[in-house]
Amino acid sequence: MKETNFLTKSLNYFNFIKFEHSVFALPFALSGAFLVNDSGIPSTRTIFLIVLAMVGARSFAMSINRIFDSEIDSKNPRTKNREIPAGSIKRPSAIVFSIVSFLVFIYAALNLPKICLALLPIAAIWFLIYPFTKRFTHLSHIWLGIALGASVLAGWLANGGELNSAVPYILGEAVVFWVAGFDIIYACQDFEFDKENNLHSIPAKYGIKNALVISRLFHVTTIFLLAYLSKVIQASFIYWIGVLFVSAMLFYEQSLVKEKDLSKVNLAFFTINGWVSIGFFVFILLEKIT
């Protein structure tokens, strides 16, 4: 019985932070680390610390987002069964979890180059503000995109990269528009709820049809930036195959969602974007080792 309870509680927490969504940012953080030309392939220790930092940072960010949004989530038919509104995780327990996650984040940063620890407060403040952005700006999607895009710079710095290189910024910007683009698609589900509750999003401000157009423009920008990056890093044909792969995935993602049919949003949001991030990292890895 105790083992069953432990497993149930563990699954609740994994679902609470949508642990599987770590696949969005982590591969790009590793891509940033692998693109540091002078340092070669990151050491096993560095890779482990990057993964630990990303898990800690994302768990912290996601948990505080759930804590601050719990009242809103309880009113939304789509989110009312999330762990805090449903009572499967109590708010005090969620706060303790967020603190532990933040300590894991700090521990990883302490064992990486000093600049990682120096920049950690900026990341923490960014995470803390994000849950409130939907209350005052329709550009919350960009705010989220910057949070994930920064993972590229974090991975780059963790492997000894310098701040004056254009590489992590170009790739980071590509991630910003990629994330903002798919977050707009996801937000279309809450179009009516957001308008009724004075919450801000691009769909709520411009309507679903125009929001999807903006999402597509964002994803075209992502592809452009990935293509531009090839010149900066003097990439081989392997990298270009990766760009073509990402382009195909984003085109397919956009084809799944229509103004009058949002039934495939979850497929577009999770499955396709998981392929985008993992696939891109695989091609970066091949680019590096061949």
User: Could you tell me if 151 and 178 are in contact, meaning their C-beta atoms sit under 8 angstroms apart?
Assistant: no
Count CA atoms within 13 Å of residue 266 on its CB side: 2
User: Could you tell me if 199 and 134 are in contact, meaning their C-beta atoms sit under 8 angstroms apart?
Assistant: yes
pLDDT the model gives residue 269: 80
Its domain, for residue 26, covers 16-289
pLDDT the model gives residue 14: 78
First and final C-alpha spacing in the chain: 51
The count of domains in the chain is 1
User: Could you tell me if 239 and 287 are in contact, meaning their C-beta atoms sit under 8 angstroms apart?
Assistant: yes
Q: What is the pTM of this model?
A: 0.94
Burial group, residue 244, by CB count within 10 angstroms (0-12, 13-18, 19+): middle
Radius of gyration (Cα) for the chain, nearest Å? Answer: 19
Residue 135 lies in a domain: yes
Residue 2 lies in a domain: no
Residue 9 lies in a domain: no
Residue 51 lies in a domain: yes
pLDDT the model gives residue 41: 85
pLDDT in tens, the chain (290 residues): 455 576 777 788 878 877 777 778 899 999 999 999 765 689 999 999 999 999 999 999 999 999 999 999 999 999 999 999 999 999 999 999 999 999 999 999 999 999 999 999 999 999 999 999 999 999 999 999 999 999 999 999 999 999 999 999 999 999 999 999 999 999 999 999 999 999 999 999 999 999 999 999 999 999 999 999 999 999 999 999 999 999 999 999 999 999 999 999 987 888 899 999 999 999 999 998 88
Residue 238 lies in a domain: yes
Burial group, residue 121, by CB count within 10 angstroms (0-12, 13-18, 19+): exposed
Residue 94 lies in a domain: yes
Residue 220 lies in a domain: yes
Handedness of CA 45, 239, 245, 248 (dihedral sign): positive
* Per-residue tokens: 34: 């692998």
pLDDT the model gives residue 6: 63
CATH no. for residue 142? Answer: 1.10.357.140
User: Could you tell me if 90 and 217 are in contact, meaning their C-beta atoms sit under 8 angstroms apart?
Assistant: no
Residue 70 lies in a domain: yes
